[in-house]
Amino acid sequence: MTHEFDRTDALLADIRDLVRHANLITARGREVFFDRADRTQQLAAKAIVIDLQAAVERLPEGYRDRHPEVAWAELQAMRNYLANDYANTDYQIVWNTLVTDFPRLLVQLGIA
């Protein structure tokens, strides 16, 4: 017997937590993020973007349909880019995503 239950609240909490961690990375500043000798922040940011998309993908379709203002396809494209083209990752795009797109996503989802 399969029991389906709505995990939306848990997924939204996960998304909010991932954005919080992204904010910790950006709070350290651009200089730390773009330090050529230490890519730790870049790799952490990349993992956060990928994990956030995984949580977004598990949101119920009906929930996503109720939020057409969210760039769902762009989130998926970013995840695919980061997961599959790691040698050519443009970390300026990742930085911009953390600084601009993630906070906007929280507002669009009403979980800011």
**Taking the domains of the chain in order of start, what are their residue ranges?**
8-109
- For each of the chain's 112 residues, which pLDDT tens digit applies? 444 567 999 999 999 999 999 999 999 999 999 999 999 999 999 999 999 999 999 999 999 999 999 999 999 999 999 988 767 899 999 999 999 999 999 999 999 8
| Measured distance CA(109)–CA(40) in Å, rounded | 29
Rounded to the nearest 10°, the torsion over CA 99, 105, 108, 109 is -140
Tell me the whole-structure pTM to 2 decimals.
0.90
Q: Tokens for 97?
A: 């995503």
| Measured distance CA(16)–CA(73) in Å, rounded | 19
